[in-house]
């Protein structure tokens, strides 16, 4: 008989960072368990959203992948080993480092602030008298509350939805790691309150830097739940950003490649820095220099500006036409002035 599993990933389930959040966020677990659940995202997770509780675990997963757990035993010399607890015993003892035995917890306040920021919310940090549920922000000028709940059972998720609907008595936005717990009952409750549900798995991506990034601009994503809001259209926002980038090209001290060209290739076409350098016939450091200028001018990470790629051609064409019309009008005025002088 195998020893207890203590939150280990089922053998038939692939790693998923959002399921890791649902399953493990309300407890403390060793790094091996977090890594099983989050897979390739583990390093980002540990760097940005896991904290060391400075407590030692009693068990660690079997490194042979048999699914059992090994009790952590400290020998007389202070060394830690994992001892098989299966009956019958079938695994050798193995050394365990202090880091491997340390219990890690999800840094929920930090994660909530990151989600609030990525969705352009006015920050709110209020723990509600509901299990694993917080108000993390308010959206739009109307102050629509944005809640985050982390549940692992359908019944508890539905109960949280019911409680929020009863408490708010007005529209709100509810976020959760995945949409797997949203059933017909919860949908009906949310629809009756004119509230919106969005799962993070479908609406956010993890950048290589560890930052979260929205797949759709927040103003567009949440607009149906705040009809009186007056957020500018993303196309209008991007037109302003594009104008800022064009101003950088007026600096005669900047050699090729121009900032606008790097902007088009990196943000518009989604090429990597090295790919842009190859395309422009320069070294990567030059491209990074141009990206840094873009970052300072706009106040946004160039990677985040890639979200505006659908608007590149339309905005650029509109601005080109506007410039051409301005030059044409100026030429007409000049011709008239010349005729009058004659």
Give 226-279 pLDDT, tens digit per residue: 655 444 556 667 777 777 787 777 765 677 888 888 988 998 888 899 999 999
289, 331 in Cβ contact below 8 A?
no
What pTM value is reported for the model?
A: 0.64
Identify the weakest region by mean pLDDT among 1-15, 49-63, 173-187. 1-15
* Average pLDDT score over the chain: 82
The predicted structure's pLDDT at residue 330:
46
234-321 in CATH: which number?
Answer: 1.10.10
Which part of the chain has CATH 3.40.1350? 109-225
Answer yes or no: is pLDDT of 2 > 50: no
20 CB-side CA count, 13 A: 26
Which part of the chain has CATH 1.10.10? 234-321
**Percentage, residues of the chain above pLDDT 90:** 32
Q: Can you give the length of the chain in residues?
A: 342
The predicted structure's pLDDT at residue 294:
87
Give 79-124 pLDDT, tens digit per residue: 998 888 877 777 888 888 889 899 999 999 999 999 999 999 998 8
108, 115 in Cβ contact below 8 A?
no
Give buried/exposed letters for 174-206 (b at 16+ CB in 10 A, else e). bbbbeeebbeeebeebbeebebbbbbbbebbee
**Which tokens in the block code for residue 287?**
């491209």
Taking the C-alpha atoms of residue 29 and residue 318, their distance in angstroms, rounded to an integer, is 54
Show Cβ contacts of residue 85 under 8 Å, excluding neighbours closer than 6 positions: 3, 59, 68, 69, 70, 71
**Percentage, residues of the chain above pLDDT 70:** 82
The predicted structure's pLDDT at residue 11:
59
Taking the C-alpha atoms of residue 278 and residue 69, their distance in angstroms, rounded to an integer, is 50
DSSP notation for 263-326: HIIIIIS---HHHHHHHHTS-HHHHHHHHHHHHHHHSS-HHHHGGGGGGHHHHHHHHHHHHHHH
Q: Which CATH number fits domain 109-225: 1.10.10, 3.30.450, 3.40.1350, 3.90.1720?
A: 3.40.1350
């Amino acid at each position: 008989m195998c020893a207890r599993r203590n939150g280990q990933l089922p053998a038939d389930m692939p790693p998923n960072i959002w399921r890791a959040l649902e399953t493990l966020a309300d407890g403390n677990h060793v790094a091996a368990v977090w890594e099983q659940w989050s897979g390739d995202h583990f390093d980002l997770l540990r760097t940005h959203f896991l904290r060391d509780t400075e407590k030692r675990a009693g068990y660690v997963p079997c490194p042979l992948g048999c699914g059992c757990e090994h009790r952590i035993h400290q020998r007389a010399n202070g060394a830690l080993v994992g001892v098989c607890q299966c009956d019958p015993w079938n695994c050798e003892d193995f050394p365990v480092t202090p880091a491997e035995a340390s219990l890690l917890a999800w840094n929920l306040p930090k994660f909530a602030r990151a989600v609030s920021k990525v969705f352009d919310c006015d920050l709110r940090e209020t723990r509600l008298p509901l299990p694993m549920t917080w108000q993390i922000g308010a959206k739009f000028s109307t102050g629509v509350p944005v809640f985050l709940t982390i549940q692992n059972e359908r019944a508890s998720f539905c109960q949280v939805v019911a409680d929020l609907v009863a408490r708010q008595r007005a529209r709100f936005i509810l976020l959760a790691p995945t949409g797997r717990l949203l059933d017909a009952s919860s949908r009906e409750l949310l629809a009756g309150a004119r509230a919106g549900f969005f799962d993070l798995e479908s609406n956010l991506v993890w950048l290589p830097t560890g930052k979260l990034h929205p797949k759709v601009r927040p103003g567009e994503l949440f607009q149906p739940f705040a009809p009186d809001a007056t957020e500018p259209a993303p196309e209008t926002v991007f037109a302003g950003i594009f104008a800022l980038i064009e101003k950088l090209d007026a600096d005669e001290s900047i050699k090729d490649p121009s900032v606008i060209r790097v902007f088009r290739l990196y943000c518009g076409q989604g090429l990597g820095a090295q790919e842009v350098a190859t395309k422009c016939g320069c070294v990567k450091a030059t491209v990074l220099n141009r990206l840094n200028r873009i970052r300072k001018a706009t106040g946004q990470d160039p990677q985040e500006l890639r979200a505006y790629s659908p608007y590149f051609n339309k905005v650029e064409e509109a601005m080109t036409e506007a410039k051409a019309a301005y030059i044409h009008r100026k030429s007409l005025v000049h011709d008239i002035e010349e005729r009058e002088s004659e």
